[in-house]
């Protein structure tokens, strides 16, 4: 092959290509037999499934092809032979209503191997599988080097050695590196394949975007818009004054068609001013008198402005103690409560707060979310439990007085995004409340953080607010990027955990 290759193209196969294709299109086995596709067979494939037949062209010369059909999963999930799945190469098994793309041929001219051309054709197949909403790509894969080890290794052992890269197999090694996994071993798949000792691997690549068909299919939008309120602490003389400001922000964020709005921890602290004549522990309990009314008003706003509201947090008095809680108010009118699990030493010392026990995720109309209040984000176990429950977005309402306190929240939030392969959204308060004891100063820079991989910002920062300035921050996040990360990321922190060595266990049953 000449070294001045200038153009490589993957395109649909056409009947005009047949003459050129036939000059090199053979599959030769150890016994000297070969398989040769006839003109009639190619015509049939192009008639049944034209987009599934492609060729690789290098400098206007056809040097490879990939052929496929669509079948029903039930036909290929168990043992089968090449003759059975192709209808003895008549392709009568092709089912346009099936859910599996089945590969029946991939060929690269020997002189053009080593150029990663087959990889390009597999990428085309994967994109087509996603476009057609097929469940998976499957095919029987040869193991041509198995004859060198068949005296000492069973097929299962051979496959495991190839997977560990202790044995090289020109077909299986390539397929494993292209995200295919071995579903099972089949006997007599290709009767002439003596190199593989008549064995084949049933290989499968799963379409992570597959959506089971429904009677009334709806378009899937996996982009979620989140709005953060970097809240300015200021004096409010009544709950009506407080909600005049809250509704202003809800109105502004919903005007950008946001799906969520997040408020900070203890955003309602200004209302404690009327209890300043009491001790600090009594004042915070006085603030509890507003909690039910605040929740009801947030539910009304969620409905009125068609937005899911994460209410930040506020104190709640119960018979067994004082808690720091917040509410997810959905735009359908439903709501659920979350609790601060770990209370800070200062919350215990000044107010006598008690840590809650609810650790759970919440389903919404656009994402599965979790909420950790401020200090809780500094405990990695909580977010990991939520990640195991399928959390996609972690919301963190916080309140920090100094920059070092803020840095703890921020750095831990970014760590949670990386280790749990999720988005983390944080929002805090700024300014000061000179007339409210224990709430003197605030420092915050709200933001949206991501995992660190090629599809995300290199520093893991999707968006950030201006420090110590009242403002809103609106950002779009793409949940499909998480799906890709879980499966194809440079590192896969959730998938690669050594569960054979350690586990995370929730001890308090009934609260998760």
Write out the catalytic residue numbers.
Answer: 265, 340, 374
Residue 291 to residues 132, 288, 305, 324, Cα–Cα distance (Å): 50, 5, 21, 11
Output b/e per residue, 272-304; b: 16+ Cβ within 10 A.
bbbbeeeebeebbbbbbebbeebbebbbebbbe
How would you class 271 by CB atoms within 10 Å of its CB: exposed for 0-12, middle for 13-18, buried for 19 or more?
A: buried
Strand 368-371 with 461-464, pairing: unpaired
- The answer for residues whose C-beta is within 8 angstroms of residue 338's C-beta and 6 or more apart is 325, 326, 327, 328, 358, 360, 362, 371, 373
Please give the Cα distance from 159 to 200 (Å, whole number).
10
Runs of H (alpha helix) within 105-210 = 117-131, 155-163, 172-177
Distance of CA 104 to the CA centre of its chain: 31
Measured CA distances, 327 to 149, 200, 217, 290, 387 (Å): 62, 55, 32, 14, 20
């Amino acid at each position: 092959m000449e070294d001045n290759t200038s153009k490589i193209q993957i395109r649909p196969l056409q009947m005009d290509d047949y003459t050129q294709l036939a000059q090199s299109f053979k599959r030769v086995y150890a016994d000297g037999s070969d398989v040769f596709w006839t003109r009639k067979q190619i015509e049939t494939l192009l008639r049944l499934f034209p987009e599934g037949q492609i060729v690789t062209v290098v400098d206007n010369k056809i040097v490879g092809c990939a052929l496929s059909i669509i079948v029903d999963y039930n036909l290929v999930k168990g043992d089968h032979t090449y003759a059975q799945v192709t209808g003895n190469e008549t392709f009568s098994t092709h089912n346009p209503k099936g859910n599996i793309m089945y590969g029946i041929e991939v060929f690269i001219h020997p002189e053009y191997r080593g150029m990663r051309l087959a990889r390009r054709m597999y990428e085309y197949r994967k994109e087509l599988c996603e476009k057609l909403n097929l469940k998976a790509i499957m095919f029987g894969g040869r193991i041509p080097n198995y004859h060198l080890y068949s005296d000492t290794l069973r097929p299962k052992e051979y496959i495991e050695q190839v997977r560990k890269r202790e044995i090289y197999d020109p077909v299986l090694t390539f397929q494993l590196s292209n995200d295919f996994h071995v579903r099972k071993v089949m006997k007599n798949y290709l009767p002439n394949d003596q190199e593989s000792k008549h064995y084949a691997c049933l290989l499968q690549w799963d379409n992570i975007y597959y959506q089971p068909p429904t009677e009334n299919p709806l378009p899937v939008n996996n982009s979620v818009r989140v709005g953060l309120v970097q809240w300015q602490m200021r004096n409010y003389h009544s709950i009506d004054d407080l909600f005049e400001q809250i509704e202003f922000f809800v109105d502004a964020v919903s005007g950008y068609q946001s799906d969520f709005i997040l408020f900070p921890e203890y955003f309602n602290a200004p209302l404690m001013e009327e209890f300043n004549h009491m001790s600090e522990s009594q004042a915070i309990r006085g603030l509890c008198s507003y909690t039910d009314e605040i929740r009801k008003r947030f539910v009304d706003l969620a409905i009125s402005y068609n937005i899911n509201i994460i209410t930040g947090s506020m104190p709640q008095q119960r018979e067994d103690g004082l808690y720091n809680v917040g509410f997810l108010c959905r735009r359908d009118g439903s709501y659920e409560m979350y609790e601060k699990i770990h209370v800070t030493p200062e919350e215990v010392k000044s107010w006598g707060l008690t840590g809650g026990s609810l650790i759970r995720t919440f389903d919404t109309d656009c994402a599965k979310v979790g909420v950790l209040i401020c200090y809780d984000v500094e405990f990695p176990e909580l977010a990991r439990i939520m990640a195991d429950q399928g959390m996609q977005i972690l919301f963190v309402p916080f309140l920090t007085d100094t920059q070092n306190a803020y840095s703890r929240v921020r750095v831990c939030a970014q760590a949670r995004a990386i280790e749990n392969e999720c988005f983390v959204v944080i929002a805090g308060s700024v300014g000061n409340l000179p007339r409210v004891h224990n709430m003197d100063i605030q420092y915050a820079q709200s933001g949206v953080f991501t995992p660190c991989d090629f599809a995300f910002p290199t520093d893991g920062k999707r968006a950030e607010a201006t420090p110590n300035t009242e403002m809103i921050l609106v950002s779009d996040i793409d949940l499909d990027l998480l799906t890709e990360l879980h499966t194809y990321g440079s590192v896969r922190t959730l998938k690669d955990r050594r569960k054979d060595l350690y586990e995370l266990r929730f001890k308090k049953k009934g609260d998760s």
